[in-house]
Structures are given as C-alpha cells and as structure tokens.
C-alpha cells in the first residue's frame, strides 16, 4: 500500500470517528430511527381500509395481507419499498452505536430491502406470465385469456392526480417488466458488491451513498411501471436528481465538475426537448397514455396532425431522452465515471442508461406506434444516428487506456443497439430491444464489477497496468472474460441471444445497413476487449510486482462478480425468463 493510499485511508477514518462522536453525543442519532418507525407504523396501520380498528380484526382473520395489496398494489409497493428502505438505511446509519455494528445494521437493511423488492417484482412477473386464476394478482389479468390484451384494458393504478387528465399512474406491461426484473435483481448483487467496495476503499459518506442508491432504485421502478408519458417524465427526472449525489460522491473538484455536466445535460435535454414533446403530444391528441399502436392514429386520420409535425415530435422525444446517450448527447456518460464503481456498475450498466433506452423503446412502441411512423414515413433518420453512434463510440473506446472510460464508450455503443432495434419498427426489432436491455445489463455490470475489483485490490485504473493480473486475480479476470464474450456476442453468453434477434429483425426489415453496422461493431468490440483479456492472462507480471503484492479483492466483491458472470451464462442457457416477456410484447402489438 503506497504512502498516498495510507494517508488517504487515514483521512477517511477520521471522518468516520467524528461521526462516531456525534452519534454518541445523545439524541441526534435516534431521530431518524423514530421517524422511520413512525412511517412504518403509519404504513401498516393505514394500509388497511378500516384504519386502526380494522387492523386487529383483519389480522385475526388472516386477511391483512390481501388488504395491504388492495390498498398498495404491487407496482406501487415496488416504488415504496426502496423509499422506505432509504429511510431505514438513514436511521441505521445514524444510530448511536459502535461504528462496525452501525455499518452492519445499515448494510443489512440495504440487503433486506433489495431482497424484498425483488420478491415483489418477481410476484408481479408471475402474475403477468401466468394468466388467469392461478397467477395471483388477479386485478391485472382479466379472465384466463391467453393474450396480453386484457391487461391493457385493466384500470391503471393512480397514485396522485397532478393536473386534470394528467395523473401520476402505474400499469404493468411486458417491456416495463423486463426492466424492473433486471434492476431489482441486480440491485441485490450490487448491494453485496458495494459492501466490499465501500469498506475496502474506506469511502466517506457511506450512509448517504446507500440512501441515494435506494432512492434511485425507487425512481427506476417508477420509470418501469409508468402508465403514461407524464408519469415516465416525473420518475425519469427523479432518477437524474437522486443519482447526482452518487456521481459527485468523492467531493473532489473533478467529481463535482463531472456531476454538473451529468446533471446539466440530462436535465437540460429533458426539460428543453422531452417536456416540449409531451406538451405537443397533449395539444394534438389530449392523451398521454401508453397503448399498443400509439396515441397519434386518430389525430393523423382526422388530419389535425400533419406528418412533419409528427416527425418533429419524434425528434423531440429521441433527443429529449438524453439518458439513451445518442450522439451528440452522450458526454454525460463518460463524465459520470468519476463515481465509485458500484455506482458506475448499477447506474451506468443498468439503471440510468437503461432508463434512457427503455423510455426510447416505450415511446416508439406504445406512444408513436410502428404503423403511425411507417405510414407517415417519419423517424427514418433514427437508424442512421443510432448506427453512427454504435460505430463512432466503438472507435473512441479503442483508444481509451482508462478501463472505466473504455467501458463507458462501450456502453454508449451498446445502448444504440437497443435504439437501432426499436428503429426497425418491426415486431422482431422490438423483441430484440427488450432482450438486449436484459442481456447487456448482465455482461456490462460484470465488466464494471471487475474494474472496481482491480482498483480495490491493486489500485490500478489503466489498461496498460494490467499485465499478468489474471494470474493473481483469476476470479475477477475470469468473470471479466465472460463479460467480454457477452459484449462481443459469442455463445454461451447472453449477448449472443440479443444479437441473434437483432440480426433477425434487420433481415426481416430488409435493412442491410443495420446488418453491416452490427457485424462491424462486433469486430470493433473484439478489438477493444480481447487485448485486455490477453494482457491479463498471457503476459508476465511486471518486474516490480513483489514490491506491491496483492491477491483477489474482498470476498463480497468476488461473490458479486461471480454471480453476475454466472447470470450472463445462464441467460444464454435459459433465456425464457425474458423471452416470454419479449413474446408478450410481440403478441400485444396491434
């Protein structure tokens, strides 16, 4: 450990000790705990329709759980659980207890929250894929019909009516289900990883980190289950704001500057363009709900909306959703790499960037609809912009020596795979988009986990420093190799399945350009990833290695990245979990 590192760790220790002194100084520490318990009691007592009196009877009759679900349907629970978890994490981190115990309680709360959330989302998944009587959650699937249609006619869950005709409301549909499953499932592994990483690097402000993380996941669930584009916008903005403290986490001038670029670009594009697109949609159609076939068909048929205006609205949405990182709106993503690696992993492989491409796909499929865009011959430019982004970002990635920067540009490129799939405007393309949202998440989070593992164990950040590191960190670099194969799209990894659907979709649309782009980018992926694996396993360790010897990263980190690497392979072997949802999307199209 270098003198710099030692001093670095020492400074952090002081910060934690001061916090100890404050926590033990008296009542201050108990306030969050009391607030949290109060909120929990309120939630349990008033979740039942009858109020406090009814709770005892209901509990006696064993009816309580049903009551809770009636009042807070599962999609609403999926948003509340991480928010309550954040309160609990804040309470646990402020308890007047010894430091190590306080950390254990706080991180225990994080893991339990993540597990409960995944349980709820899995419950919704089962309710959506097994229609009818045996699926539970009967208020989504009307009758035992084999098709998705009845659930579209199900009533949305209104959280709050903000403006007349603009409720903040939720509805379960298969595309959102893909996103919710990915985000909630990977949050469990990411929490495990965070514990190893934050402790291994003696990071400051750990409680704030875990609190913001939980709030960000709550926003993600809102994005996934939004019933209309106004709700989507609200949760999308909430996600930008809750992730800002995570990007600026280190507090250095560089981190703060990068976080400003991050927030400036994301909020700037969404308010200047995305919001304008929503207002335009409202003016022309008076309807903001997501529905198969989109909302513009009537206005187009009546002639109140002309094709160029539809095209302009489409442009506002595509660039207003800045999180999809279409060039030239991609600069925030490399800037956000100053954040600690658990943030880069979950947010920039799964949550934030996926919120962008997920919104793009949802807007293309359920707000515009393929028939409206094809009928008016609008939006054809998206294929070229997305194709350009894929190739340019891959070329930039080739020349980055910083590992996280190379991964960031690779992400920009991979995200446009999803956008280009949606821009094909055919059912296979939409399926490919849904599959790649899932497939890319597993591979990319594994790569980021490996990058953070290398930093924690060896304090290395550049690719040129990684000679022979696979010999001392075999688990980490083995997982990295699996993630690499998934990015290139080689069986037996997840990336192969989504690329297969994407090529099928392009073939189906008779779009040779897209096929050429995919083949070129696959070669570029191999060119910027395989040398890293080669360097780690086939080059000798540097001469001065015995001066700074190191082994694997902490166990929590190794477990988490082995888990995600395993998921990457399992996705290839058992794709049905997500394939069923992708087929439901296809079935639900008009």
pLDDT tens-digit series, residues 179-233: 999 999 999 999 999 988 888 887 888 899 999 999 999 999 999 999 999 999 9
Indicate whether 105 and 233 sit together in one domain.
yes
Q: How many CB atoms lie within 10 A of CB 152?
A: 17
Instruction: Give the integer Cα–Cα distance in Å for 173 and 178.
Output: 9
Smallest CA-to-CA distance from 214 within 115, 328, 89, 380 is with 89
Q: Are the C-beta atoms of 361 and 418 separated by less than 8 Å?
A: yes
**Average of per-residue pLDDT across 27-31:** 57
Indicate whether 302 and 168 sit together in one domain.
yes
Give, rounded to a whole angstrom, the gap between the first and last alpha carbons of the chain. 62
Indicate whether 251 and 353 sit together in one domain.
yes
Indicate whether 561 and 431 sit together in one domain.
yes
Percent of the chain with pLDDT over 70: 84
Which residues in 117-144 are b (16+ Cβ under 10 Å) and which e? bbebbebbbebbbebeeebebeebbeee
Q: Please tell me the least confidently modeled range out of 132-146, 178-192, 293-307.
A: 132-146
**Average of per-residue pLDDT across 521-540:** 94
**Average of per-residue pLDDT across 252-262:** 91
pLDDT computed for residue 251 by the predictor: 85
Indicate whether 144 and 200 sit together in one domain.
yes
Q: Please tell me the least confidently modeled range out of 16-25, 210-219, 235-244, 288-297.
A: 16-25
Q: How far is CA 290 from CA 49, 176, 222, 305, in A?
A: 30, 11, 14, 18
Of 347, 374, 401, which residue constitutes the final position of a domain? 374
Q: Which two tokens stand for residue 166?
A: 């603009």
Percent of the chain as helix, strand, coil, to the nearest 5: 75, 5, 20
* Res 133 pLDDT > 80: no
pLDDT computed for residue 449 by the predictor: 93
Instruction: Give the integer Cα–Cα distance in Å for 342 and 187.
Output: 10
Strand ranges in 329-400 using DSSP code E only, listed in sequence order: none
* Res 10 pLDDT > 60: no
Q: Which two tokens stand for residue 155?
A: 């009533």
Q: Which residue has the tokens 């400051």?
A: 204
pLDDT computed for residue 35 by the predictor: 73
Instruction: Give the integer Cα–Cα distance in Å for 465 and 261.
Output: 29
HSE-CB of 74 using CA atoms within 13 angstroms: 23
254 domain residue, yes or no: yes
Top pLDDT among 407 and 61 is at 407
Instruction: Give the integer Cα–Cα distance in Å for 237 and 235.
Output: 5
pLDDT computed for residue 147 by the predictor: 40
Indicate whether 514 and 500 sit together in one domain.
yes
Indicate whether 194 and 268 sit together in one domain.
yes
pLDDT computed for residue 382 by the predictor: 94
Bridge-partner residues for 228, per DSSP?
A: 289
Highest mean pLDDT among 61-75, 271-285, 318-332 belongs to 271-285
What average pLDDT is seen over the chain? 84
* pLDDT band at residue 153 using 50, 70 and 90 as cut-offs: low
Q: How many domains in the chain?
A: 3
Indicate whether 266 and 126 sit together in one domain.
yes
pLDDT computed for residue 29 by the predictor: 57
* Res 45 pLDDT > 70: no
- CA 261 to chain centroid, in Å, comes to 20
Indicate whether 139 and 284 sit together in one domain.
yes
pLDDT computed for residue 270 by the predictor: 94
Of 374, 402, 422, which residue constitutes the final position of a domain? 374
Q: Are the C-beta atoms of 326 and 319 separated by less than 8 Å?
A: yes
φ, ψ (nearest 5 deg) of residue 376? -100, 0
Which residues in 79-97 are b (16+ Cβ under 10 Å) and which e? bbbbbbbbbbbbbbbbbbb
10 domain residue, yes or no: no
* Res 28 pLDDT > 80: no
Q: Which two tokens stand for residue 37?
A: 């318990």
pLDDT computed for residue 379 by the predictor: 87
* Res 44 pLDDT > 70: no
Of 14, 37, 71, which residue constitutes the final position of a domain? 71
pLDDT computed for residue 166 by the predictor: 85
549 domain residue, yes or no: yes
**Average of per-residue pLDDT across 38-60:** 51
Indicate whether 280 and 409 sit together in one domain.
no
Indicate whether 219 and 329 sit together in one domain.
yes
6 domain residue, yes or no: no
3 domain residue, yes or no: no
231 domain residue, yes or no: yes
* Res 498 pLDDT > 70: yes
pLDDT computed for residue 70 by the predictor: 52
pLDDT computed for residue 267 by the predictor: 93
8 domain residue, yes or no: no
Indicate whether 31 and 160 sit together in one domain.
no
Q: Are the C-beta atoms of 191 and 358 separated by less than 8 Å?
A: no
**Average of per-residue pLDDT across 28-41:** 66
Is the overall model pTM greater than 0.75, yes or no?
yes
507 domain residue, yes or no: yes
pLDDT computed for residue 568 by the predictor: 95
* Res 398 pLDDT > 80: yes
For residue 54, give its domain range: 23-71
Instruction: Give the integer Cα–Cα distance in Å for 82 and 198.
Output: 20
* Res 526 pLDDT > 90: yes
- CA 69 to chain centroid, in Å, comes to 26
């Amino acid at each position: 450990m270098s003198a710099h590192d030692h001093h670095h760790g020492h400074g952090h220790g002081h910060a934690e000790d001061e916090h100890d002194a404050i926590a033990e100084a008296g009542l201050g520490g108990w306030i969050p705990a009391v607030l949290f318990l109060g909120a929990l009691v309120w939630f349990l007592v008033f979740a039942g329709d009858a109020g406090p009196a009814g709770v005892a009877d209901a509990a006696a009759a064993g009816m309580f759980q049903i009551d809770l679900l009636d009042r807070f349907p599962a999609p609403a629970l999926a948003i509340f659980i991480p928010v309550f978890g954040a309160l609990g994490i804040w309470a646990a981190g402020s308890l007047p207890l010894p430091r190590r115990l306080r950390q254990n309680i706080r991180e225990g709360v994080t893991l339990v929250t993540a597990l409960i959330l995944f349980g709820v989302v899995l419950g919704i998944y089962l309710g959506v894929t097994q229609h009818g009587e045996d699926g539970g959650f009967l208020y989504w699937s009307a009758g035992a019909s084999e098709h998705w249609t009845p659930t579209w006619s199900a009533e949305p869950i209104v959280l709050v009516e903000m403006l007349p005709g603009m409720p903040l409301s939720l509805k379960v549909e298969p595309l959102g289900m893909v996103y919710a499953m990915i985000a909630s499932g990977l949050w469990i592994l990411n929490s495990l990883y965070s514990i190893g990483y934050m402790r291994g690097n003696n990071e400051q402000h750990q409680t704030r980190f875990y609190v913001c993380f939980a709030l960000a996941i709550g926003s993600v669930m809102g994005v996934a289950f939004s019933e209309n584009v106004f709700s989507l916008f609200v949760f999308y903005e909430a996600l930008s704001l809750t992730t800002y403290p995570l990007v600026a986490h280190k507090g250095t001038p560089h981190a703060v500057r990068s976080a400003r670029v991050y927030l400036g670009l994301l909020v700037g594009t969404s308010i200047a363009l995305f919001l304008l697109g929503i207002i335009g949609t409202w003016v022309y159609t008076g309807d903001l709900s997501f529905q198969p076939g989109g909302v513009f068909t009537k206005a187009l048929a009546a002639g109140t909306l002309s094709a160029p205006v539809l095209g302009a609205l489409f442009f506002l949405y595509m660039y207003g959703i800045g999180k999809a990182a279409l060039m030239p709106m991609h600069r925030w993503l490399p800037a956000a790499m100053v954040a600690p690696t658990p943030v880069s992993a979950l947010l920039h492989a799964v949550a934030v960037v996926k919120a962008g491409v997920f919104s793009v796909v949802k807007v293309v499929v359920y707000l515009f609809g393929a028939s409206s865009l094809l009928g008016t011959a609008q939006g054809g430019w998206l294929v070229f912009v997305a194709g350009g982004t894929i190739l340019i970002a891959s070329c930039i990635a080739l020349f980055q020596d910083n590992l996280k920067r190379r991964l960031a540009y690779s992400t920009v490129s991979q995200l446009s795979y999803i956008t280009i799939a949606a821009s094909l405007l055919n059912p296979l393309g939409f399926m490919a988009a849904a599959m790649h949202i899932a497939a890319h998440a597993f591979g990319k989070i594994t790569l980021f986990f490996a990058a953070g593992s290398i930093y924690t164990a060896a304090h290395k950040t550049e690719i040129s420093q990684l000679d022979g590191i696979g010999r001392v960190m075999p688990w980490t670099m083995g997982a990295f190799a699996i993630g690499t194969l998934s990015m290139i799209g080689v069986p037996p990894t997840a990336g192969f399945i989504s690329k297969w659907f994407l090529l099928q979709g392009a073939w189906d649309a008779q779009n040779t350009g897209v096929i050429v782009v995919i083949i070129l980018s696959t070669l570029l992926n191999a060119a910027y990833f395989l040398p890293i694996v080669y360097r780690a396993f086939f080059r000798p360790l540097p001469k001065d290695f015995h001066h700074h010897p190191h082994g694997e990263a902490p166990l929590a980190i190794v477990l988490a990245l082995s888990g995600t690497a395993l998921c990457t392979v399992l996705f290839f072997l058992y794709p049905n979990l997500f394939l069923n949802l992708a087929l439901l999307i296809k079935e639900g199209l008009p």
